């Protein structure tokens, strides 16, 4: 079975890490990349760091997607390469908080590395209401206000729509003011990436 790339995007506190932990038991081989905050003092330095880092990660993912190194997993297992918030996250946060103008280059990466046509690339956007996200903030976000969360959600949805990746799913993680059942979300994601 080919390696699959699952790109998980979404604001802080939408359950990305929890979902990844719940997916691991279903995998024979798993590689997880969590993109870091850009290094540098000036916005130009941060932009250069991000562009270089993302190009390296896209190259690495392209290699794994075409690799024959992984054994064919058991019927109920898969080879999964996971990006924990990646280029769409930079599209949102770079524009809102870092002024690194990611819209000039970030979306071009999908086509440059063939992610727009690769049937094993999956894009997942986890969402919840701004009020819910602000209420569950852990104090590590750029801005924990409801207004900031509204702007982040708008920008994530815009980036999600602009993405050329064919297989994509927006998934609501909130139900009646609470997190949805983890098992239910995991099963929905497994069904999505097995298509």
Domain residues for the domain of 75 are: 4-193
Burial letters 145-173, b for 16+ CB under 10 A, else e: eeebbeebbebbeebbeebebebbbebeb
Selection from 85, 120, 121 nearest residue 106 by Cα? 85
Res. 154 pLDDT band, cuts 50 70 90: very high
pLDDT digits 0-9 by tens, 19-74: 999 999 999 989 999 887 777 778 788 788 888 889 999 999 999 998 888 877 77
Q: Looking only at Cα atoms, what is the longest distance across the chain? A: 49
| Structural domain count of the chain | 1
- Pairing between β-strand 178-179 and β-strand 174-175 as defined by DSSP bridges: antiparallel
Give pTM, 2 decimals. Answer: 0.92
Rounded mean pLDDT, 168-174: 97
CA angle 91, 147, 13 (to 5 degrees): 65
CA angle 30, 33, 11 (to 5 degrees): 115
**CATH code (residue 15):** 3.40.50.300
CA atoms of 179 and 187, how far apart (whole Å): 15
């Amino acid at each position: 079975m080919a390696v699959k790339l699952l790109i998980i995007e979404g604001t802080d506190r939408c359950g990305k890490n929890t979902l990844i932990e719940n997916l691991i038991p279903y995998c024979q081989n798993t590689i997880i990349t969590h993109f870091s905050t850009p290094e540098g003092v000036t916005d130009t330095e941060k932009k250069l760091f991000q562009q270089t880092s993302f190009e390296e990660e896209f190259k690495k993912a392209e290699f794994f997607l075409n690799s024959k190194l992984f054994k064919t997993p058991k019927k109920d297992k898969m080879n999964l390469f996971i990006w924990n918030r990646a280029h769409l996250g930079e599209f949102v946060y770079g524009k809102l908080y870092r002024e690194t103008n990611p819209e000039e280059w970030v979306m071009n990466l999908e086509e440059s590395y063939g992610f727009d046509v690769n049937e094993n690339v999956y894009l997942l956007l986890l969402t919840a209401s701004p009020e819910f996200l602000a209420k569950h903030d852990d104090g590590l976000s750029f801005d924990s206000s409801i207004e900031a969360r509204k702007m982040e959600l708008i920008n994530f949805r815009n980036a999600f729509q602009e993405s050329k990746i064919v297989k994509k799913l927006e998934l609501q993680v909130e139900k009646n003011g609470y997190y949805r059942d983890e098992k239910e979300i995991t099963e929905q994601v497994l069904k999505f990436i097995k298509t």
